[in-house]
Amino acid sequence: MEKKLANELVDFIYASPTQYHAASTVKEMLDREGFTELFEKDSWNLKSGEKYYLKKNDSAVIAFEVGTGSVIEDGFRLIGAHTDAPGFRIKPNAEMKVEDQYVRLNTEVYGGPILSTWFDRPLGVAGRVALRGESPLKPEIKLVNINKPVLIIPNIAIHMNRSVNEGYAFNKQKDTLPLVGFVNEELEKKGYLMSLLVEELGVNSEDILDFDLFLYEYNKGCVMGINEELISTGRLDDQWMVFAGIKALLGSEKIKATKVMVCIDNEEIGSLTAQGANSNLLRRFLERVVIALGGNTEDFFRALANSVMISADLAHAVHPNLPEKHDPTNRPKLGMGPVIKIAASGSYSTDSVASAIFMEVCNKAEVPVQKFVNRSDVKGGTTIGPMSAADLGIPVVDMGAPLLGMHSVRELASVKDNFYTVKAFTEFYNIK
Ligand code: ZN
């Protein structure tokens, strides 16, 4: 059962090479379970106990089940995670010739990937394309996944970079551009990238106006280790928590509170977008739910006062080769359960109230729980937790499943923690 769930996670991530595909994979799961899609432009007519979702700009999804109680008295039970992952985004006019023989694509870095892990791996291209639509104000949107090994970022030989193993500063405009192949007369006219898109989408090149395209590792992730206890794949941060939250939403019972799973985009670049956490997307959405259920603005604020949220991102596990990088007394490990993240700086939203809530959820679920704080001489990351807590004014616990190699093209996690996290989230949604 645990291994089956791990393989399901690997499949979910493989089907989701970009945030657009993650949102679409989530949508497919929700459609299969009878969720109804809502649209921002419509008036919403929500019913007690019914299941709905809202997509935002193709890369965020908010899925929810209306509680059987009163939304004012019973509030919202929220889990939030992000669909995007660090990597490379293709620039406009991307083709660059070198030495009259090679063609590379011009890219820029999205978020903070570990650059060295992207070298010498066959890469695919995926994302979203905007096509000419019926009106200039309404382009037609198509997702695209060129699931072929079409690109590679080749390393330079060690003989020409003798210091590479002592540390090397990669130049993001020079060292990391992917090779797409050799100069070719026919492709020269049509455009190398454009030919790929035209072939994949079956449209005319004149109709392609623009795109949001990203590189991804072509090879699929796997379950591994001597006893198949590990999971090796890209984008565990944070598609794993998207997967776990959706699984919990689908696998939990109807309760009085309204259960919400927020899959939001652009965490890796600071969240300040229409579909990111540093917008009023979530607050506006929650207010609309209250209004659609017959409430007013005061009812919305009362509902918030009865709400609680889990901000689900990932947590650093103690590294077997560098155990000294961790705090001396808080040492989360792979396979030992979800991790509550705490920071005196407020870069995680957890306080003792939020922490106590999550600890009790885990206790009830019979799931072990660990704690993470940064070493005091190390500056850690942040999440959507603080923004959500500040915006909604509700307790938000920042937690994550333990991980090694965060932001590597291949992150490492454990089969057990996947099971534990889904179990804890399901319990959170089940508490009466
Ligand atoms: Zn993350």
Extents of the domains making up the chain: 2-85+234-430, 87-217
Q: What is the pLDDT of residue 197?
A: 97
Residue 134, pLDDT above cutoff 90: yes
Q: 308 C-alpha vs ligand 1 centroid, how far in Å?
A: 20
Tell me what the mean pLDDT of segment 399-406 comes to.
98
Q: 190 C-alpha vs ligand 1 centroid, how far in Å?
A: 38
Residue 18, pLDDT above cutoff 90: yes
- Gap between the Cα atoms of 314 and 294, Å rounded: 37
Per DSSP (E only), the strands in 333-421 are: 339-341, 370-372, 396-403, 411-414
Phi-psi category of residue 346: left, alpha or beta, with phi > 0 → left and psi -120 to 50 → alpha? left
**DSSP secondary structure of 63-88:** EEE--SS-HHHH-EEEEEEE---SEE
The per-residue pLDDT for range 308-344, each reduced to its tens digit, is 999 999 999 999 999 999 999 999 999 999 999 999 9
Q: 239 C-alpha vs ligand 1 centroid, how far in Å?
A: 8
Q: 89 C-alpha vs ligand 1 centroid, how far in Å?
A: 18
Average pLDDT score over the chain? 97
Q: 94 C-alpha vs ligand 1 centroid, how far in Å?
A: 28
Q: 265 C-alpha vs ligand 1 centroid, how far in Å?
A: 10
Classify domain 87-217 at the CATH topology level: Aminopeptidase i, Domain 2 (2.30.250)
329's CB contacts (< 8 A; 6+ apart) are none
Q: Do domains 2-85+234-430 and 87-217 have the same CATH topology?
A: no
Q: Which residues surround ligand 1, an ion (CB under 5 A)?
A: 237-238, 313
Q: What is the pLDDT of residue 294?
A: 96
Tell me what the mean pLDDT of segment 387-401 comes to.
96
Q: 380 C-alpha vs ligand 1 centroid, how far in Å?
A: 12
In the chain, helix, strand, coil percent, each to 5?
35, 30, 40
Q: Which is it for the CA torsion 399, 403, 408, 411, positive or negative?
A: negative
- Gap between the Cα atoms of 64 and 119, Å rounded: 40
**Helical packing angle, 2-14 and 236-251, nearest 10°:** 120
Q: 62 C-alpha vs ligand 1 centroid, how far in Å?
A: 17
Quick one: CATH architecture of 2-85+234-430?
3-Layer(aba) Sandwich (3.40)
Tell me what the mean pLDDT of segment 53-71 comes to.
98
Beta carbons of 58 and 76 less than 8 angstroms apart = no
Q: 209 C-alpha vs ligand 1 centroid, how far in Å?
A: 31
Q: 9 C-alpha vs ligand 1 centroid, how far in Å?
A: 16
Tell me what the mean pLDDT of segment 161-181 comes to.
95
Q: What is the pLDDT of residue 47?
A: 97
Residue 380, pLDDT above cutoff 90: no
Q: With bands split at pLDDT 50, 70 and 90, how would you rate the model's confidence at 379? A: confident
Q: 238 C-alpha vs ligand 1 centroid, how far in Å?
A: 5
Q: 8 C-alpha vs ligand 1 centroid, how far in Å?
A: 20
Q: What is the pLDDT of residue 24?
A: 98
Tell me what the mean pLDDT of segment 259-270 comes to.
96
